[in-house]
A = this chain, B = another copy of it.
Amino acid sequence: MAPRDPFITIGQLAARTGVAVSAIRFYEDRGLLRALRTEGNQRRFLRSDIRRVSFILIAQRLGLALAEIETQLANLPQGRAPTLADWQKMSRRMRFEIDQRIMLLTRTRNQLDQCIGCGCLSLERCRLYNKDDKLGAKGPGPRAVLD
């Protein structure tokens, strides 16, 4: 493979991102990535897919489910390398998400501080545990965290 080849193999993508090959195939299945195929049916990714996978990892660290990440990624062009502006837009959206999360945690902390005084955690007047104040559960399976 020439050094200027714009395409990379699945193994290279895996190595560059630290994600398992099987996970990359899984992401492709789920529609988070798209790959071209060689004549011999092997996947070839764009170099820019390294960024795409990195984005998936960061978003997961923030607690986004793959479905939500897919929605976010839909804002990027498919098939061509995103421009710097494309990525900057994504970054700003992410920053907003992070801000939201920090605010929510801060709110939880403040409420907890109020509770330390009374040791409640379970009284009707405690907003921390109040089930109507809870972020709705989303059915079975792992719950989303602090969103």
Contact = CB atoms under 8 A, between A and B. Distances in A.
Interface of A: 17-18, 48, 50-51, 53-55, 57-58, 60-63, 83-88, 90-92, 94-95, 98-99, 101-102, 105-106, 108-109, 112-113, 115-116, 118-122, 128-129, 131, 134-135, 142-143, 145-146
Contacts of A131: 17-18
Contact of A99 (B53, B101, B109): B109
Contact of A119 (B61, B85, B109, B135): B85
B99 A57 contact: no
A98 B108 contact: yes
Q: How many copies does the complex hold?
A: 2
B134 A18 contact: yes
